[in-house]
Each structure stands twice: as structure tokens, then as C-alpha cells.
Structure 1
Amino acid sequence: MIRTVPVALGDRSYEVRIGPGLIARAGDEIAPLLSRPRVAILTDERVASLHLPALTAALDRAGIASSALALPAGEATKSWDHLGRAVEWLLAERIERRDIVIALGGGVIGDLAGFAAAILRRGVRFVQLPTTLLAQVDSSVGGKTGINSPQGKNLIGAFHQPSLVLADIDVLATLPDRDFRAGYGEIVKYGLLGDAGFFTWLEENGPRLRQDRDALIHAVAHSVAMKAAIVARDETEQGDRALLNLGHTFGHALESATGYSDRLLHGEGVAIGCALAFDLSARLGLCPQEDPSRVGAHLGAMGMPARLSDVPGDLPDDAGLIALMGQDKKVVDGRLRLILARGIGQAFVASDIDPAAIAATLSQAR
């Protein structure tokens, strides 16, 4: 069963296709987009070993020639050096403006390949084939592309929408459990920010998503539909789209503090960030006191981190973490903007939060 979610952006609209067997069908899915039967694939070394042969075989069956560049796996690949390597390779492959670049991988490859496509010849089309749960429900949809800086995460980039997203549920079977759970951090975010009923469904069904394909397809499609609706209203994050950053200001600071390493995966940082956002909201009297406990209990039931003490190794002190939060893209006129909540499913953008309340929340979470 293939679920199709449209992303309505006028003449840049596209579809997100979700279901089993989509890599095996990729040639037929992509062929209508091509002006000539040729594509370039950007991937990483781990994903290439698992899924690149199936993709190139599918393209071959559709009469589409392909070449591929496999970059190192990991968050550190979202850098100037690897972006430059990717762009120079695409130029050497003589990829033209009417051609298609395929991003085969998780959020790192999707972000980097999308940014490379955005700046190559002032804009080349690209297709997302996300291979992680996190990428399927979040980073492959909406056109945010970019790389990291030593100053912070995703500070260099562009909005560049894909022409198609193919989310093959079958490839998630190859994910390690920790990576699957990290992707779940973005799924639970959608319930917390705007759909209390979905959060209740996740409380009941979340622990069996790995074993129940129909439930997994529903969770991915529902998350994508929520994101697509928000992106259609606010593509470049002037208003509603900022809600999608629930948990991310805290999470990005923690990722920076841990050196974008395996100490903390992005989805784990988001999960801790969501818990902190609800802790802070309750501390400020914005949401019911029982909501943070409910959020923490569900994250615990999913085997996910929810507190700073769940991060291995030392972290900066409260002032140090708040300073890292100050580098976030959501800072406006020097003021930190956080996504807080009036309850589960009721997130909103908040400015001018008392730093002392943030520090107290961080201290409690240690």
C-alpha cells in the first residue's frame, strides 16, 4: 500500500510517496521528471553498501543511467569540505540544470545533497530517497537544506524544495534500534506540537511500530501530512513553520555541546528538547503540571532519553548551554525564541523567556 501526501506549493508542488518497495520502483517513479535518462546519486558509504545496488538496478530497468558519489557517514559530513567535494563531483559529471540529483540516505545526505543541488548552476532539481525514519518523517520534506558550522547546526543553507520524495518503509528494517528510536523523536514531536490525539495514539502504538508495518506507515504518513500542511502555509518559517522546531533549540545546543558525535543523535536531542520545553512550560505555568510527566513517561517507554542526565559524558554548565542556544537560527533581534506549549498538542512561539527559568529547568534536568 502506497500512501501519497501532497506538498502544495503552487508550481513547486510535489508528492511524498510512502510505502514498501519504492526503491525497487524508483526508476519508474523518477522517469517522468527527467529531460534525459540520466541521474547523479549522492549517498554515504554505509547506505551505499546497503541500498545503492537496488537503486541503480531499478534505474537500469527504467533505462536511466546513473553515477554515484558515496561520502562518509555521520553528522560531520555536513561541512564545507564535503559540500565542496559533492558540488565539484556533480560539475565533473556534467550535471545540467534540467537534470536530477538523487539524495539517497538519511538527514545528513538529504540536507547536503539538497544544498548542493540548490547552489549548483543556481539551482538543479533533486529527489529525496530518505533511508532513515528521521529523514522520512521530517528532514526530507519541506525544502530545508544546508550544512553545519562550528558556530552551530544548520546555519548555512537554502530553501530548495525537492521534486519528489520516495519514503520506502522497507529500508527501515536495516536501521539499528538506536537510529530507529532517534527517528521516533521527530514523530512524537508532531503529536506534542499540534495533535493531542496523535500523541495518544502513539502512547498506545509507538512501542510496536518496528513490528507493525501498517502502524509504521500510518505514523510516517500522518507526520508527513502534518509537516506538509505547515510548510504549505509558511514555507520559509516566518510564522507557523517555527512550531516544527519544538525541542530543537535545546536539542541543537546539546548536539553542539557533544560535538555532533554519536554521543547524541539528532532525534535524541529533539526528544530531550521536547521534554525540556514541557518542563519549562510547566515551570512558567503555561501547561498542566502533569504534562511533562506524561511526555517523560512516553519517551521512557520508547527507550529514549528525556533528561540531560541521559546524555553520556560531561556537558557545559547551564550558562554554557544557554549561550549555545543563543546561536540558534530562531534568534530574532538577539532575543531567543523558544517553542513552548499550553498543553499536549498546543505549541506556540514564545519570546523573552526569563533566562533564570531556562537555567532552573536545565539544572533540574541534570
Structure 2
Amino acid sequence: MSTCLHTLHVDLSTPSSDRSYPILIGRDLLADESIFADILEGRDVILVSNDVVAPIFAARVRGALGSRRRVTEVILRDGEANKTMAAVGDILDAALADRHERGAVMVALGGGVVGDITGFAAACYLRGIDFLQLPTTLLAQVDSSVGGKTGVNHPQGKNMIGAFHQPIAVLIDLQTLHSLPAREFSAGIAEVIKYGLISDIGFFDWLEQSASRLLAREESVLAEAIERSCAVKADVVSADEREGGVRAILNFGHTFGHAIEQVQGYGRWLHGEAVACGMVMAARVSAARGQVPRDFVDRLVALLGRFELPVTPPEDMSVADLMASMAGDKKVVEGRIRFILLAQPGNAVIVDDVSAAEIESACFDRANLD
């Protein structure tokens, strides 16, 4: 029997339309036929997963979808390296082959890669059909499943091809987290920590105090961490759906992190690992500017260390490599790279005046990082 512990709403209502949607957080939600019946009604489904997640969870989702609707399954290859236009093509080919109409719903069962690819395919198919997010990793549950950013990678940059396409709902089943390898779980914690850094210093303090219980994957602590993370993201997305302003603060650590992923080759570091390192780099630059205390950077490094997350750039990466990659980032405006720094702990700010010399001094002087 399922248990819903928290319900949040992403409010995207306007005078002309209402694209708001719920985020449900609980136990055994993936097996609850009544939840799927309420959300999907009698509509047909294109169920998209990958070759790691599907063998674990697809059967229970199929059971919850029931036998009265038509279900087309698409199984993608796992991994960031497979977040490509070819994968989108596989989904579209299957949907077209089974002659799905505009009333069909794409259902993304997996981590952030599956969610991003499926959402983009849904935005493209018949010029846009609905999709449902069933995130199975912590990172996807607190970040990529909420907010409507969809897309794929390109050799010249991460998420360079995509669309804003909001889901009709997000179902977060805590049971999926018990199957996560430790490295994947820790990668998700990086995004959880981000929310405390950019918006809620009290949440950061709570995470420091709760680290041991999070590592033990205690359900009540996980539920609170996910609920508080999603609440911050839902508020930001409701205020700025298409990243015209404040939503950019959600990219804290990501400008550096995306560059690390691209330069190394997608998949060498997990996304959350690259973001963890990127957050420390942004915090170090913020400290060098006198905006946060240096001992706060030490606290961040220590907390990330509890989860065995990287806190220094790869040894084979240079500042020149980093700057070249960031110059092609989709967040560049009029040739200037936008960075998210900390104005103070718990308060992020958008800047475009960070120099290569500043980054090298704060983040690549190995003698000062020990």
C-alpha cells in the first residue's frame, strides 16, 4: 500500500492557461494504480526507461498502469554519454510505429538522463504531448524532474539542444533510492546541498547535522531533504519558468560543473560530482571576493567530503580548458560568461565579471587547496 508523505505544487498559472502540476513524495507510489488512474485517466502511454532501471522498476509501473490502456515501451542505454538526438529518435520512432495520437502521454522512468530525453521527445512529438516524470535517482528527484528543462547533449556542450516542456506531474517514490549505488546517491546529495547554499542557510545547517542519517538513507530524513529541495526549486520555477532572471541561481556550481563534464568526456564524473566540485569553486571565488567567510568554504568542503564527493578540479584540467568550455555554455550572454556566486551563505547572485586569473588563483593553486 502506498503512502504519500508530502505534496507540493509548481504554480505556473496565468490568466490564459494553467500548467501547474503536483509533486508527490512517498512510499510505493510507482505501484499505486489509483495514482496513475487519476493522473493519466484512460490515456495511452509511451513508457521510456533504460537498461539499468527497467529490470528493477518497469514491471511494477506496468502493473500500476493497468491492462486497459495501450503501452509502448522504449528501453534506452544507460549513461550520460547516451543523452543524444539518436536516443530521442528511438523514442519518436517507437511512438510513430505504434501510431500514438496527441492524447498519449510519455512516461519517464529513470534518472535525469531518461527524464531529459523523454521530456524533449514529448515536446517534439506531434508538436508536443504530455509527459509524466517518475524519477528514480535522488539527483533527478530534487533537480531535473522539476522545472521543465528537457534536452540532450552535444559535443560542444551539455544540454545545448532542448526545450522547456513541463511535466503533468512528478511522482517521487522513496523506495527507488534503496537500489541506488552509493556513488549515485552521493551525486544526488550534491544537488540537495545546493539548495541550502543558494536559498536557505538553515537547510544547509540541517544537512550538516543530518549527514549521518542521510548516509543511512533513513526514510523520514530523505523525505524531508527531498521536500525542502523541491520546495525551493518549485518557488524559483514558479517565479521564473524560462530562466529570464532569478531561475539562473539554480545553476550554482553548474557553469564550472558542465565544463568539467564536457572537457573530461561525459560519464567520467557523474553530473552531481561535477556540480559538487563546481560549487566549491564558486564558493572559493566568492570567498576570495570577501562575500563569504573562508571557514564557510571549509564547512562546505567538509560536508561534501562526508559523501565522498570531489572538491577540487581534475588534475589534468587547466584553467584554459575550463574557460574554453565555459565560453560555449548556453548561459553566455553577449560573449560574457555568467557565473552564480554567493553574495553570502544562503544567498546567490548572478555575475559576469569573473576572470580566468581569479579562477586560477582561487581554484587551481593546489598549495592553497589542501
Please state which band the TM-score falls in when normalised by the shorter chain: over 0.9
Gaps (5+ residues) in structure 1?
none
1:4 corresponds to: 7
Q: SS of the counterpart of 1:287?
A: coil
Contact 1:254–1:321 (CA under 8 A) maintained in structure 2: yes
Amino acid at match of 1:361: A
Q: Distance in 1 between matches of 2:321 and 2:81?
A: 22
Q: Distance in 1 between matches of 2:116 and 2:227?
A: 20
Count matched residues: 359
Percent identity between matched residues is 45
1:16 corresponds to: 23
Query: How far did 1:302 drift?
Result: 2.1
Contact 1:196–1:345 (CA under 8 A) maintained in structure 2: yes
1:71-113 Cα shifts (integer Å, max 9, x gaps): 1000012111111111111111222212111000000000000
Contact 1:31–1:37 (CA under 8 A) maintained in structure 2: no
* Alignment counterpart, residue 184 of structure 2, candidates 174, 179, 182: 179
2:229 corresponds to: 223
Contact 1:291–1:343 (CA under 8 A) maintained in structure 2: no
Query: How far did 1:37 drift?
Result: 4.0
Query: How far did 1:7 drift?
Result: 0.4
Query: How far did 1:35 drift?
Result: 5.9
Of stretches 163-172 and 80-89 in structure 1, the one that deviates more from structure 2 is 80-89
1:337 corresponds to: 338
Contact 1:125–1:163 (CA under 8 A) maintained in structure 2: yes
Contact 2:85–2:152 (CA under 8 A) maintained in structure 1: yes
Amino acid at match of 2:45: V
Of stretches 154-163 and 276-285 in structure 1, the one that deviates more from structure 2 is 276-285
Q: Does 1:73 align with 2:74?
A: no
Q: Distance in 2 between matches of 1:148 and 1:111?
A: 10
Query: How far did 1:316 drift?
Result: 3.0
Amino acid at match of 1:51: F
Query: How far did 1:125 drift?
Result: 0.1
1:40 corresponds to: 46
Alignment of 1:1-366 (within 5 A): 1-2=3-4, 3-10=6-13, 11-25=18-32, 27-34=33-40, 36-60=42-66, 63-209=68-214, 210-261=216-267, 263-308=268-313, 311=314, 315-364=316-365
Contact 1:322–1:359 (CA under 8 A) maintained in structure 2: no
Q: SS of the counterpart of 1:103?
A: strand
Q: Distance in 1 between matches of 2:61 and 2:308?
A: 32
Q: Distance in 1 between matches of 2:178 and 2:69?
A: 27
- TM-score normalized with structure 1 length: 0.95
Q: Distance in 2 between matches of 1:109 and 1:31?
A: 23
1:130-167 Cα shifts (integer Å, max 9, x gaps): 00000000000000000000000001000000001101
1:191-240 Cα shifts (integer Å, max 9, x gaps): 01110000000001023124310010000011001000000000000111
1:241-266 Cα shifts (integer Å, max 9, x gaps): 000000000000000012102x2000
Q: Distance in 2 between matches of 1:92 and 1:206?
A: 48
Q: SS of the counterpart of 2:244?
A: coil
Contact 2:284–2:363 (CA under 8 A) maintained in structure 1: no
Contact 1:257–1:315 (CA under 8 A) maintained in structure 2: no
Amino acid at match of 1:67: T
Query: How far did 1:118 drift?
Result: 0.2
Q: Distance in 2 between matches of 1:52 and 1:254?
A: 33
Q: SS of the counterpart of 2:29?
A: coil
Amino acid at match of 1:28: S
Of stretches 153-162 and 356-365 in structure 1, the one that deviates more from structure 2 is 356-365
Contact 1:35–1:99 (CA under 8 A) maintained in structure 2: no
Q: SS of the counterpart of 1:40?
A: strand
Q: Distance in 1 between matches of 2:40 and 2:49?
A: 20
Query: How far did 1:65 drift?
Result: 3.4
1:173-202 Cα shifts (integer Å, max 9, x gaps): 000000000011100000011100000000
- TM-score normalized with structure 2 length: 0.94
Q: SS of the counterpart of 1:335?
A: coil
Q: Distance in 2 between matches of 1:6 and 1:321?
A: 37
Contact 1:35–1:98 (CA under 8 A) maintained in structure 2: no
Gaps (5+ residues) in structure 2?
none
Q: Distance in 2 between matches of 1:38 and 1:216?
A: 33
